[in-house]
Structure 1
Amino acid sequence: MKIVIADDHAIVRSGFSMILNFQEDMEVIGGAADGLEAYSLVAKLRPDVLIMDLSMPPGESGLIATGKIKEEFPDTKILILTMHDDEEYLFHVLKNGASGYVLKNAPDEELLLAIRTIYRGETYIHPKMATSLVREFFKKDKTAEPADMFDLLSNRELEILPLIAKGYGNKEIAEMIFVSVKTVEAHKAKIMEKLNLKSRPELVEYALKKKMLEF
């Protein structure tokens, strides 16, 4: 199987490449430092599996890139590799089209199992996280409402929220994500409305709580 690795640390990409290339059924054909580069490589190389880190500053995050890549290239299976063992990240990446979720501190054997599992068209989630997923599913089924307004944010809003919290102005954000200033302002207003926030300090506090400043 052909594999692309997206992680902003070159040493991480090299380390995983060595592990995967040692396997008879795997070949790493490319590496990317952020979500935009990952998108370009998938478009060019059409790998069977994309291993995607969630946190890749200052470029596009893995969470946003996952949705874009899966929409355009559905045949590429995406495995999220991250330090976050947070249920909310798990829900969002699965909703965005990822086929698996593995923690960076997992043993090599688990990474290899996850890759082979999603390559077969199945889903791989660490047992601990799978339990949380099932529990959340039944909770949402009973309430028929989102457990958190965080679930209502669009991909673009999830991209903009941490940038606002980090102190970037509307013009800076517009240049970073290639949209107009008016578009940023509109998304910002929607974010504040959906999360019922009244000020930037409240937004920063919310982003910190959700660990979004690590993106």
Structure 2
Amino acid sequence: MEARAGEVIGLAGLEGSGQRLFMRACAGLIRPASGRVLIGDRDVTYRPYRDHLAEGIAYLPAGRLEEGLIPGLTIREHVVLARRGPQPFFINWPEADREAQSRIRTYQIRGEPSTPVEALSGGNQQRTLLALLPPALRLLFLEHPTRGLDIESTMWVWEQLLHRREEGTTIFFTSSDLDELMAWSDRIMVFFGGRVLATLTTKETTVEQLGYLIGGKEPVPRRGGSDR
């Protein structure tokens, strides 16, 4: 699978079909059993996630509190933990507070620097995760980025992701919502039984065909017009 800068690739399939393992292996969170991950001509297959992050590769899990954030810590404390590069021995908390407040304004998070992340709504937890990402990314992997969010938060998340795309970030995302996959993807990889069953160009695919493939069936012939 090759992906271009600024391309959005959706990963479709029933839960447990392999799309999550694919993304975690590409992001350096697990070691792949076979295959290689190349960024340009650089092999980063067996490097850990912290090295991937330094290369501009980030991963946001579906479990915002279970994997993405640390319950019991505040937004301000997450901002401190997300800092890159050498850090002073002592934390300048007033500076951290200002930095957290700046990100809260930029990402429209409904909370204060002192707000524990578990007190935030699902949408504001996702905004916080996006606020903690490095400013420049080459690759971004997201598991179900809008699951459980209301329409306003869903559209806001995609506005941020499309802005990343315009800056050249390549985005891979999983979703169980076929309409979401069709709306935002340039291409869709369909997983079934632990393998890639097909890679589709979204403009040449219908929701009906995608649904058949996800179930492991041959797609029905395309009729005139579009179901998209």
* TM range, smaller chain: 0.3 to 0.5
Higher RCO (C-alpha 8 Å, min separation 6): 2
TM-score (norm. length: structure 2) = 0.33
Q: Considering only CA atoms, is the larger Rg found in Structure 1 or Structure 2? A: 2
Higher helix share: 1
TM-score (norm. length: structure 1) = 0.34
